[in-house]
């Protein structure tokens, strides 16, 4: 049974870069599923898709965030990562990493505040 | 910004059938598969329905999905107290390259 675990700072200052890593366990990130995803959810609000990365390295991003997002994969560490630049309070949310769109990690709360 | 519209709330008594609607457009629901997620309080979303009406292993057959044109529905039959949660529909928009759009979410309350 694959498991996903998000990790990274829980507090980021405005204008800085949010960096999160998702560690995949219970299976190889390179086998089975073709892509891995990030979504987020501000408190009390709906889910928002951030983007995805294929194990080949190809990416698709949410157009509303595209200029600030970068998703990468490290198959040797069985991890994939998210970077979101120039953050503001509006980026405060629980961030989830996922296997395709069918299974999500437990999530990590990231607060943007000085 | 959600592009799929759901009613904010729905409710029923134990044993009843509850239906949640999801309205989209020709660029998402009208041309791609619909997915449904259940989110219990404080938990990650859990996939309930994929490809319009398919249930992942372990999801009870009390949950069923359907799609017609640019709208979709999730039905919960034999409502149980543990079904009290937020439910989200989702679909790929414009093309399979994304974005993946979620609905506005529906809070189901078991009375």
Nearest-10 Cα torsion for A29, A108, A61, B20: 100
Dihedral-angle region of residue A66 (phi above 0 means left; psi in -120 to 50 means alpha; beta otherwise)? alpha
CB contact under 8 A, A37 and B35: no
* Beta carbons within 10 angstroms of residue B36's beta carbon: 27
CB contact under 8 A, A102 and B88: no
Mapped onto helix, strand or coil, the DSSP state of residue B83 is helix
A49 has which bridge partners? A39
Q: Please determine, for residue A33, whether its predicted confidence score (pLDDT) is greater than 90.
A: no
| Residue found by looking up tokens 């439910």 in the block | B87
Cβ-based contacts of B46 with chain A (< 8 Å): 104
Cβ-based contacts of B102 with chain A (< 8 Å): 39, 46-49
Would you place residue B97 in the very low, low, confident or very high pLDDT band (cuts 50, 70, 90)? low
Distance of alpha carbon A27 from alpha carbon A30, whole angstroms: 9
Nearest CA in chain A to B89: A47
Distance of alpha carbon B108 from alpha carbon B84, whole angstroms: 5
Would you place residue A65 in the very low, low, confident or very high pLDDT band (cuts 50, 70, 90)? very high
A28-32, A105-109, B59-63: lowest mean pLDDT where?
A28-32
pLDDT for the residue B3: 85
**A59: Cβ–Cβ under 8 A, 6 or more apart, which residues?**
A51, A52, A53, A71
Distance of alpha carbon B43 from alpha carbon B47, whole angstroms: 12
CB contact under 8 A, A47 and B104: no
Tell me what the mean pLDDT of segment A8-22 comes to. Answer: 98
Cβ-based contacts of B104 with chain A (< 8 Å): 46
pLDDT for the residue A56: 87
Take residue B111 and report the two structure tokens written for it.
Answer: 């009375």
Q: Please determine, for residue B96, whether its predicted confidence score (pLDDT) is greater than 80.
A: no
Distance of alpha carbon A14 from alpha carbon A28, whole angstroms: 35
Would you place residue B43 in the very low, low, confident or very high pLDDT band (cuts 50, 70, 90)? very high
Q: What percent of chain A has pLDDT over 70?
A: 99
CB contact under 8 A, A47 and B102: yes
């Amino acid at each position: 049974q694959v498991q996903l675990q998000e990790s990274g700072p829980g507090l980021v200052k405005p204008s800085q870069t949010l960096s999160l890593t998702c560690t995949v366990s219970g299976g190889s990130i390179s086998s089975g599923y073709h892509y891995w995803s990030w979504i987020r959810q501000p408190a009390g609000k709906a889910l928002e898709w951030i983007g995805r990365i294929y194990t080949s390295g190809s990416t698709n991003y949410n157009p509303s965030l595209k200029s600030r997002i970068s998703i990468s994969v490290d198959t040797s560490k069985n991890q994939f990562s998210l970077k979101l630049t120039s953050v503001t309070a509006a980026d405060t949310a629980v961030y989830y990493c996922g296997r395709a769109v069918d299974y999500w990690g437990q999530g990590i709360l990231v607060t943007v505040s000085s | 910004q959600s592009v799929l519209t759901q009613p904010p709330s729905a409710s029923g008594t134990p044993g009843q059938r509850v239906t949640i609607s999801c309205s989209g457009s020709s660029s998402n629901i009208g041309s791609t598969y619909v997915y449904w997620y259940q989110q219990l309080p404080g938990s990650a979303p859990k996939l309930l329905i994929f490809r319009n009406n398919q249930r992942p292993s372990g999801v009870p057959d009390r949950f069923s999905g359907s799609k017609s044109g640019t709208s979709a529905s999730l039905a919960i039959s034999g409502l149980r107290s543990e079904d009290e949660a937020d439910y989200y529909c989702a679909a790929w928009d414009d093309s399979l390259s994304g974005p993946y759009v979620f609905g506005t979410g529906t809070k189901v309350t078991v009375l």
